[in-house]
Amino acid sequence: MFYLFRSVVLLFILLLCIQDLNGKDYYLTNLIYKGDVGELSLITDRSNEFIKYLSIRDPDTGESSVVSTDKIEEGIVLLKVKNYEVVKLKGNNFNLKYGGKLTLDYLYNGVTKKRKQETIKLSSSFVLFKDNTRIDSMRFIEKKVLGKTVGIKKIIFN
């Protein structure tokens, strides 16, 4: 009887955990690097009010990952090339319900380790904007020195 009760309790806990992942998936933008296309989307909680996870498909490797928004302050990697975190998405004081300002921190020059930043905004309706213009894609333009890619020259928002 004890084992049956324990099994029922464990099954109930498992079902609660699975239901927590049943939020809605919102497409945000394409991530374009060297002609390869990745994707950024977000997943809300069951009530469809709070952002729980970001889903990222890296345009360079094609690998997909789901990352908790708990990591937004330290930065969530959107593009990784070799061992370099080329583009990171950061949000200090970012509101998981109402959105807010986000920073795209990118490697401008891998030789000198110089990084640059662009500010974007996520609205409460889960749409990305740059300077009040909706973002449908982010194109990462390579910075080359002597024919070798050393970083991101700029980000073009379409």
In angstroms, rounded to a whole number, what is the distance separating the alpha carbons of residues 154 and 158? 13
Maximum separation of any 2 CA atoms in the chain, in Å: 73
Task: Give the CA count within 13 Å in the CB-facing half-sphere of 116.
Answer: 10
pTM, entire model: 0.81
- pLDDT tens track, the chain, 158 positions: 444 344 443 344 433 344 445 678 899 999 999 989 999 999 998 888 889 999 999 998 888 999 999 999 999 999 998 889 999 999 988 899 999 999 999 999 999 999 999 999 999 999 999 999 999 999 999 999 999 999 999 999 99
